[in-house]
Amino acid sequence: CFFPFQTLTAPAPFADETSCQCQAPHEKLTIAQARLGTPVDRPVRVYADGIFDLFHSGHARALMQAKTLFPNSYLLVGVCSDDLTHKFKGFTVMNESERYEALRHCRYVDEVIRDAPWTLTPEFLEKHKIDFVAHDDIPYSSAGSDDVYKHIKEAGMFVPTQRTEGISTSDIITRIVRDYDVYARRNLQRGYTAKELNVSFINEKKYRFQNQVDKMKEKVKNVEEKSKEFVYKVEEKSHDLIQKWEEKSREFIGNFLELFGPDGAWKQMFQERSGRMLQAFSPRQSPNSSPTRGRSPSRSPSPPWVFNKASPPSSPKAASASLSSMSEGDEDEK
C-alpha cells in the first residue's frame, strides 16, 4: 500500500499554546487494541519525556520508535525545565528554551509539553489524555525512587524503546572536556574573548602562541607540498626531455650508420666515384683491329727518343749508346 509523503512545513506546536484538543472520548486502550489500529479521529496518544540536552541522533531514534509503535499515533514529548533538571540530574549545556525548540523541529514530534513533571502523576496523564508512555526499559532511578516509571509499568501503560549505542549527551560532553584545549584555541581564534571562555590570562597567551605555531606549521606544510609538486613537475619534464633525447639520438645514430656504415650510401657513392676516376686516368687499350694500326706510311714516324715499352734497354751501356746515336742523328738533320 502506498502512502504519500507528507512534507512538514511548520514546527510542532506547544501544548499550552494550541487549541487542538482530542474531542473523542478518552477510553482506556490496551496495547493489543492499539496495535490493531484506531479510527482517524482517535489516534493513540503516546507520551515520551526527557531532558534532551544537546539533541542528537540517539534522541531522534528514540522518538521515531515512539511514533511508530502503533499504526495511528500522536506523539507528545515532555521536556523538563532547567530548575527540575539542575535539581535532580545536573547542569545542562543547553537551556530550557533551546531544548524546547530542538524538540519542536524533530519530524516525529506532534506536540511539545514544556516544563514537564519529573514524575508522571495520574492528573497529568488524564489532562493530556495519554494512552501509553514510551521510554527505554532500563530502570531510571531518580528523585528518591528506584524507577520513576514503576507505577506506569504496573498500570500497563509502558511501552519500551531501544537505546542507540555509541551516542549520548554524556559522551558528547566527555569529548568536549577531553579536547578542551583544542576547542578553547579554536574559539579564541574565531574572536571569542578569554572572559567568555573562562580562560585565564596565562592560558590565553599559551593558546594564542600555539595558534601562531600551528599557522607556521601549516605554512611550512604548504611550502613543502608546493615544493614536492614543483619537483615532481621538473622530474616529469626531465623524463620527457631525456626520452625525446634518446629517441633523437637513436634516430641520429641510425641515419649516420645508413650514411657512413659498412654498407652505407657514402661508401657506395665513394666506390662509384673512385671507379670513374680510375677509368679516366687509365683508359682501356685499343684492340688489334683498331684503325690506328692501319695508318698510312706517309704519317711522320714516331720520334726516335720515344722508347719502346715492349723492349727497354737491357743495360746502362746500351742506354748510353742509344743516346749517342740520337745526338748524331740530330746533327745530320742540321
Across 190-202, b (16+ Cβ under 10 Å) vs e yields eeeebeebebeee
Q: Identify the pLDDT of residue 2.
A: 36
Which residues on neighbouring strands pair with residue 47, listed in sequence order?
76, 133
Q: Is residue 102 part of a domain?
A: yes
- Using an 8 Å Cβ cutoff, are 325 and 332 in contact? no
Domain holding 173, by residue range, is: 167-269
Same domain, 35 and 150: yes
Q: Is residue 195 part of a domain?
A: yes
Same domain, 152 and 176: no
Q: How many domains does the chain divide into?
A: 2
Same domain, 148 and 176: no
Q: Is residue 298 part of a domain?
A: no
Same domain, 120 and 184: no
Q: Identify the pLDDT of residue 65.
A: 97
Q: Identify the pLDDT of residue 1.
A: 39
Classify burial at 227, counting beta carbons within 10 Å of its beta carbon; exposed 0-12, middle 13-18, buried 19 or more: exposed
Phi-psi region of 52 (alpha: psi -120 to 50; beta: other; left: phi over 0): left
Using N-to-C axis directions, what is the helix angle for 265-281 and 201-260, rounded to 10°? 30
Q: Is residue 297 part of a domain?
A: no
When computed from its CA atoms, the radius of gyration of the chain, rounded to whole angstroms, is 59
Classify burial at 228, counting beta carbons within 10 Å of its beta carbon; exposed 0-12, middle 13-18, buried 19 or more: exposed
Q: Identify the pLDDT of residue 131.
A: 95
- Using an 8 Å Cβ cutoff, are 26 and 129 in contact? yes
List C-alpha distances in Å: 88 to 82, 143, 146, 150: 10, 6, 13, 18
* 269, 293, 310 - which closes a domain: 269
Same domain, 155 and 186: no
Residue-level pLDDT, tens digit, the chain, 334 residues: 334 445 577 888 898 877 555 555 567 788 888 888 877 778 999 999 999 999 999 999 999 999 999 999 999 999 999 999 999 999 999 999 999 999 999 999 999 999 999 999 999 999 999 999 999 988 877 766 788 899 999 999 999 999 999 999 999 999 999 998 888 888 988 899 989 888 888 888 888 888 788 888 888 888 878 888 888 788 777 777 888 888 888 788 777 777 776 766 766 777 777 777 777 766 665 555 555 544 544 455 555 444 444 445 545 555 455 545 554 454 444 4
Same domain, 33 and 155: yes
Distance CA 200, CA 206 (A): 10
CATH of residue 58? 3.40.50.620
Q: Identify the pLDDT of residue 45.
A: 94
Same domain, 171 and 254: yes
Same domain, 152 and 33: yes
Same domain, 153 and 183: no
Distance CA 268, CA 255 (A): 15
pTM of the entire structure?
0.60
Distance CA 173, CA 51 (A): 15
Q: Is residue 211 part of a domain?
A: yes
Same domain, 155 and 213: no
Q: Assign 218 to helix, strand or coil.
A: helix
Distance CA 45, CA 118 (A): 19
Q: Is residue 126 part of a domain?
A: yes
Same domain, 138 and 218: no
Q: Identify the pLDDT of residue 288.
A: 58
Same domain, 114 and 191: no
Q: Is residue 106 part of a domain?
A: yes
* 159, 181, 210 - which closes a domain: 159
* 234, 269, 304 - which closes a domain: 269
Q: Is residue 292 part of a domain?
A: no
